[in-house]
Every structure is written in C-alpha cells, then in structure tokens.
Structure 1
Amino acid sequence: MNTPHGTGPLAGIKVVDLSKILAGPYATMSLADMGAEVTKIEHPEGGDPTRSWGPPVKGTDATYYLAINRGKKSVTIDLKSPEGQETVHRMLADADVLVENFRPGSGLQRIFDYKALSERYPHLVILHISAFGDHGPLRDEPGYDMIAQAAGGLMSLTGEPGGPPLKAGFAMGDLGASLFGIIGLLAALLERSRTGKGQYVTTSLYESQLALHVNWATNYFADGVRPGPLGSGHPNLVPYQAYQARDGYFVIAIGNDSLWQKLCAAIDRPDLGADADLATNNGRLANRERLNIELGKALKAKTVAQWCELFSSRGIPASPIRGLDEVYAHPHTAALDMLQTVEHPTIGALKQVAFPVNFAGQRPQVRIAPPELGADNDTVLPTYQPQPASSGH
C-alpha cells in the first residue's frame, strides 16, 4: 500500500506534533504511516533532543531520531515566543489532532492549556502523554523510560532470581504509553465523527506500565505474594523459558498438558511424562526447580538447531534466540515486508522497520524520510504567517 499524503486509513487527518523524545514521536510517526499529515514542531536551536542521541549518527542526526520521525514535516518554532505561539494557533485552527508531552505544571503546558485549546478549537483531539499523569503525588517527578520501568514495577520482575534488577531491552515505558495513546486518540477521532467534538486524551508511562502487568497483577491480587524475577521463566506456566542446548540457548513454550507429554516423548524422557507430580501445569509449577534440572540435563544432548527442527516437526513451540542481525536477515522478515528503504535527501537509502499492521492485506509503505531540522519551514510556515493588510486606494 503506497501511502503518500492523501491516502491511507487516516488520509485527510492533520496532526500538529509538539512532542519530543520517544513516546509522542512514535505515536505521530505511526499516524503518519497510516496516512495522516504530521507537522513536527521543533525548537530552532537543536530541535528534538534525540537528534543528538548518538552515536551512531547518519548525516546530521542520530539514528535514534531517524527511527521514530519518518513521514513528518519539520518546522522550527520557538514555542515560548508570542510569534511562535500565534503561528501554532493558526496551525491548530485547521488541524484535527495535537500531540504533546509537556511536563505537568510546566510553562508550556500552561501556555497551551487544554481547556483553553478545547474552547477555542472544539473539533481538536488533544493527546497528552506524561511520565506519571496529571494527578497524584508523583505528578511532578521527571520521567524517562527507565524511570517508568523502575517506578511501575517492570524492573522488579526482570532479571535472574537473586540477581540485580534489569530494565527491558525495549523502551517499554515509552512505547507502552505511545501505543495506549494511539488507541485513545483513534477512539476520540471515531467519537468525533459521531458528535463533531474533539476531546482531551491523556495517558502516561506509569499508567501504561500498570496496564501491562496483566496476569502479574491478578496473581498478586489473588495471593498477596510479592512477585520477583524469574529470568526467562513464566509465573503461570512451566516449562516456559529459555534452556541451554549443546551450543547455546533456545526457548520452549509449553502451554498445556498435551504439549508436555509431546515434549517428554521428543526428548526421550518417558519417566518425566509418567511422573504424576508433573502431569498437570499446577504440578509442574510446584516442582519448577526439579523439572528444570531434569530438562537441563536432557537438552544438552543436541544443538539448538537440532532441537528446534525436532520440536517443530512434532508441533512443540520452540525457537532459537535470534540476535537482531539474524532477525533482519531472516526470510520470514522479508516475506512480511517489515524492512523497507526510503530515500533521505542527504543520507541516501535509509532502512526502516515498517508499520506492523496491514490494511486490506497490504502493509503501508515507508514513504517520507525523517526530516532534517526545519526542512519544511519554507513550504509550511508561509501558510500560517499573518498576511499583510491590503492598502485601499
């Protein structure tokens, strides 16, 4: 699916992006991938801080910035100046969406107060993403992804038992808030199609972390036991983790008792399959340590590739643990068209990970490279500058 401006499921939707770093820009990039017209507002001096979050750097920008800003226009405006604020207001007059991540209580949040914006532009959907939300004792705390992972519990569950806490490899605080923000924003646009009225949509890194606890939360609510890290293990299923083969690690995911019996047969351990204490998942949970010791002994007999081939042939869920180089080179990644290339004006060919949703069986194409700072000033800003008064004769 080719999605230049004007096509795609969000064709005709205009977005003003006042956000920076990751959560907001990832959300607006996703909107652009779906066909929205996104104008990114950046400070004239340096722009989005992620432009300098390197190395690695390609051209004038860090690759971090290049990962989350494709499909947008970039204009430079000083949001603290009266002239800059008036320009943004002119842009909002014909925009559908405003995305911002101003710190609660900050000067910019007061300048672009959502109540005043909603009264002035009743059609506007405003998405506000913050670290901890606009209420509560942590409201004014500064927040980055790792702060959210720590404060929201994720780091207490990540790592090996008895080891130091670890953050998730992905920026799950920022990305979780971004994805929930997109859901809320799209729901608000749908409601606006019925009522004609926009609204103020908020989420935070902290709230999103709690929403992603899922079964960890209900486990705790049920038994009151504070959970800790299980390495690659699962709190509710055994065996469901990484195991060591002869030449490295791979994962096995046993989700029911029938698969457990298949696994025991595949590794030639009928004794484990016949063990009444291990016949049910409840029993395997109660005997996690003993079971894992026995599996560990058996699985060192073959290589990762040998086990994965054998298990695949018997319908047992298993996978090697691939590095990103292997993921990007894998034919399945290519078959899904998840890696695409866009032409950047100074870098040249720039590889990107595509949008992970298909529409009518087709994936949106990466269509516009991440813009250089102020690249669209000359084409965008004149439209929103005050016009000189015409002189009468």
Structure 2
Amino acid sequence: MTTTIEAKSDSGPLSGLRVIEMGQLLAGPFCGQMLGDMGADVVKIEDPTKGDPLRQWGRQLPEGQSLWWSIVGRNKRSVTLNLREPEAQDIARKLLSTADVLIENFRPGTMERWGMSYEALAKLNPKLIMVRVSGFGQDGPYSQRAGYGAIGEAMGGLRYVVGDPSMPPSRVGISIGDTLAALFATIGALAAVRERGSSGRGQIVDSSIYESVLGVMESLVPEWQVSGYQRERTGAILPNVAPSNVYPTKDGKWVLIAANQDTVFGRLAVAINQPELAADPRYATHGARGERQEELDGIIGEFTSTQLAQDLEVLLEKHGVPAGKIFRPVDMLTDPQYLARESIISVDHPVLGPVSMQNVFPKLSRTAGTVRWPGPALGQHTAEVLSGIGITDSDLSTLRARGLA
C-alpha cells in the first residue's frame, strides 16, 4: 500500500526559486524534476504541436498517457511556445528576465542561433544561472555531435565494464547517462545559486553526459595509467571479492549475499551449516576466498537453492549476514521498509487516477520536498504564466492562431 499525497502549492527548500526549463526528453528535464521536487517553480517551455517527446515514451501508455512523463513532468507548469520563431523567442526572453535558473539541453549553438546566448541573456538578467546539459559539453571537437545518453555511457567508460564477460558490452536497464548528467547539472545549479548569494552574479553550468559518467567511474583511469590494469566485464561479481554475488532460491528468486569480510564470512558459514569453512585455509582469508570465488559461490548456491527466499533472508539476518532480495516493483509496493519511509507515493492523475511513483529524495527533516502534481497536460499553464508578463487572453489567442503558442 502506498501513501497518497495532497498537492501543496508552496513547499520545499527551493520554494521561491524560478526555473525555466527548455529542451526535452530526459537529461535536462530530470534536472528540472529534481529542482521542482525541492520546491522550485519550474516553468517548462514546450513546442505547441507535440510537446516534449517524453509525453509519448514508455512501454505502457494507458489511456494514451505516458507514465514516464507523469514522473519527469511532475511539479512543473507547462507553457507552449514555438521557440523557432522570433516573436516566441521574445516572450521567452521576458520570462527569463526575472528567472533564477534556465535549463536547456539542446545541441550546443541552438540557443545562440535563437539570440539567447548566455551573454545576451546576462545583459537582461545578470543573476541568471544557465544550466547547459549536452552529450559532450559546450566546447571541444565533439561538441556539435548529437549527444545521446547511450553514447555518453560508452565514451565515459561505463558500457565497457557492464555485462557478462562472455558477451559484448551491455547497458544498464535505465537511461543512466542522462540521469547522471542531470544529477551533476542539479549539483552545479545549486552550487551556482549558493555562489550568487555572495557575488550577485549568475554563471553557466556546463554538464556533459560523457563527463558525468566518467565522474562515477571510481579508479578506472588511474588503474590503467599507473599500473596498466584494465577493468573488464565481470557480470554479477567483483573479481576476487567473495562471497559477494546473487544466489538462487528454491522458489525461483534471487538473493544477494555480501559476506566477503572475514568475520561476516564466519557467520555465513554457520548460517549454511558449514562452520568449518571459516577455518579452512582455502576460504579462511579474503585472498584465499578470492582465488576460489567460483568454487565458493557453488557451495553457497547449493545451500540457498534449498531455501525459500523469504526464509533465507530471515536466516541470514539472524546471523548478521548482509543480504537482500533482488527487488521488482511488486516487492517495492509491499515491502515494510518502503512503506515505513514512504519511498513510493500515490499521486492523483487527472486521467488515470492514483499513480504510484517514487517519492522525493533525499529527505530533508525540516523543509522536505513534495510531489505537488504529476506531469501536466501540454500547455496547461500557458495562460497562467504568460499573464504574469502582460500577455492577455486576446494576445494569447492571436499567438495560438499563428502557431506561436
């Protein structure tokens, strides 16, 4: 059972921060989602015809509604403007003249062609922070290339080390490159807001997908540069770290067990009714277990295959062995830890009714972020937002008739 939240119009630590989001799909919009989750007023500018393509993305489109959009578009106000047209660009500039943050993830050079370079916008609004998310960054020989998340994952080093060693480089089952770029963009935006408090000036935050992936690749580069060691694909294990793997259960599920420390391995040996393993020279030390990793995994897997997943979890917890099921959505929706922390909430959708989705993370004790509404309909807030810069209903009707809004 999930917790149903009530919409709040003004909450979160970023309440009062005005963000204009341009661009589409995931890297830029996920940055906007995180800022909106923490209370910022995020105004998303979309093309009047179809809007953000993410509105049509996802494996399931019940009632023609993208469940993915309901999350990435949450807490945002949708305004339609055809930014390819000069008059619509003028309107965008008016919106940006009093904004705190601009998020854009077009190919580098697009904003400049539209007369909205940082230099031009800074003349209108010196405090504006321009968050630029792209595949390869705003400069360098690759900057003009199409920068999809998958390419950034490959160039940043992630794809090479993911997957089974007997297979070609694989991928993580989510758009991790885009998400990482959005996370770094968000960190940069918050740092720039903090610095602006001292200087009174905005600046550019340049977040590239490939560098964001590179940023989480641990010691991959110095391992090669200093010692010539190249990390390879290792599937579900880390070489020479044992036991630390996923193990089968009697009911066809998988449980991850991480017992590579000597003391923890001793407790695991007792739990699987083979306490003598902890004193056996073949398994007694971290190094010895690493050398016999496959053999040891076989011994453990033989035991876990006789246990139901739930019973195995209870047994391992009793013996102080870190372990956990491989979760799917069906597990998340009923798990007591998820329920206790309200990790998943139910948000009222105007078409679909209650929709379960992840809550706002991280949690703040005093000024927590909230999900105030799901992804809005295309152009739902156009009149509301544009009236704030003096555009009347009559003006808006004319703009719409001309395909500008």
Taking structure 1 as the reference length, the TM-score comes to 0.91
Name which of structure 1's ranges 308-317 and 289-298 shifts more when overlaid on structure 2: 289-298
Q: How many residues are matched?
A: 388
Task: Please state whether the residue corresponding to 1:19 is helix, strand or coil.
Answer: coil
Runs of 5+ consecutive residues of structure 2 not aligned to the other structure: 395-405
Q: 1:116 to 1:218 in 2, by over 3 A?
A: same
Distance, in Å, in 1 between the alignment partners of 2:338 and 2:367 is 15
Distance, in Å, in 1 between the alignment partners of 2:140 and 2:240 is 32
Q: 1:270 to 1:343 in 2, by over 3 A?
A: closer
Distance, in Å, in 1 between the alignment partners of 2:113 and 2:177 is 22
Describe the superposition over 1:139-189 as per-residue Cα deviations: whole angstroms up to 9, x where unpaired: 222232222222322222121221233210122101111111111110110
Distance, in Å, in 2 between the alignment partners of 1:20 and 1:3 is 25
Contact 2:89 2:114 in 1 (8 A): no
2:326 pairs with 321, 328, 335, which one? 321
Name which of structure 1's ranges 243-252 and 76-85 shifts more when overlaid on structure 2: 243-252
Q: What amino acid is aligned across from residue 48 of structure 2 in structure 1?
A: P
Q: 1:312 to 1:219 in 2, by over 3 A?
A: farther
1:306 matched residue in structure 2:
311
Name which of structure 1's ranges 161-170 and 40-49 shifts more when overlaid on structure 2: 161-170
CA drift at 1:33: 1.3
Contact 1:87 1:385 in 2 (8 A): no
1:205 matched residue in structure 2:
209
2:272 matched residue in structure 1:
267
Distance, in Å, in 1 between the alignment partners of 2:10 and 2:125 is 23
CA drift at 1:203: 0.8
Task: Please state whether the residue corresponding to 2:78 is helix, strand or coil.
Answer: strand
Distance, in Å, in 1 between the alignment partners of 2:314 and 2:130 is 50
Q: Which has the higher contact order (CA 8 A, sep 6+)?
A: 2
Distance, in Å, in 2 between the alignment partners of 1:159 and 1:294 is 24
Distance, in Å, in 2 between the alignment partners of 1:140 and 1:282 is 48
Taking structure 2 as the reference length, the TM-score comes to 0.88
Q: Is residue 379 of structure 2 the alignment partner of residue 356 of structure 1?
A: no
1:3-42 matched pairs, under 5 angstroms = 4-42=8-46
1:80 matched residue in structure 2:
84
Distance, in Å, in 1 between the alignment partners of 2:283 and 2:113 is 57
1:154 matched residue in structure 2:
158
Contact 2:79 2:378 in 1 (8 A): yes
Q: Is residue 398 of structure 2 the alignment partner of residue 365 of structure 1?
A: no
Contact 1:75 1:376 in 2 (8 A): yes
1:192 matched residue in structure 2:
196
Task: Please state whether the residue corresponding to 2:45 is helix, strand or coil.
Answer: strand
Distance, in Å, in 2 between the alignment partners of 1:236 and 1:204 is 33
Identity of aligned residues (%): 34
Distance, in Å, in 2 between the alignment partners of 1:298 and 1:223 is 39
1:376 matched residue in structure 2:
381
Describe the superposition over 1:203-231 as per-residue Cα deviations: whole angstroms up to 9, x where unpaired: 11111111111144454445322221111
Task: Please state whether the residue corresponding to 2:132 is helix, strand or coil.
Answer: strand
Distance, in Å, in 1 between the alignment partners of 2:227 and 2:116 is 45
Contact 1:243 1:251 in 2 (8 A): yes
Distance, in Å, in 1 between the alignment partners of 2:16 and 2:112 is 28
Distance, in Å, in 1 between the alignment partners of 2:290 and 2:116 is 53
Q: What amino acid is aligned across from residue 205 of structure 1 in structure 2?
A: I
Q: 1:231 to 1:121 in 2, by over 3 A?
A: same
Q: What amino acid is aligned across from residue 206 of structure 1 in structure 2?
A: Y
2:294 pairs with 289, 297, 308, which one? 289
Contact 1:3 1:34 in 2 (8 A): no
Q: What amino acid is aligned across from residue 274 of structure 2 in structure 1?
A: R
Task: Please state whether the residue corresponding to 1:111 is helix, strand or coil.
Answer: coil
2:118 pairs with 110, 114, 117, which one? 114
Distance, in Å, in 2 between the alignment partners of 1:366 and 1:386 is 29
Task: Please state whether the residue corresponding to 1:250 is helix, strand or coil.
Answer: strand
CA drift at 1:114: 1.8
Q: 1:371 to 1:95 in 2, by over 3 A?
A: same
Describe the superposition over 1:283-337 as per-residue Cα deviations: whole angstroms up to 9, x where unpaired: 3223323322333333333232222111101110011112122112222212111
CA drift at 1:236: 6.2
Q: 1:221 to 1:139 in 2, by over 3 A?
A: same
Distance, in Å, in 1 between the alignment partners of 2:132 and 2:333 is 33
Contact 2:25 2:52 in 1 (8 A): yes
Q: 1:18 to 1:282 in 2, by over 3 A?
A: same
Distance, in Å, in 2 between the alignment partners of 1:318 and 1:279 is 20
| CA RMSD between the two structures | 2.4
Runs of 5+ consecutive residues of structure 1 not aligned to the other structure: 389-393
Q: 1:351 to 1:292 in 2, by over 3 A?
A: closer
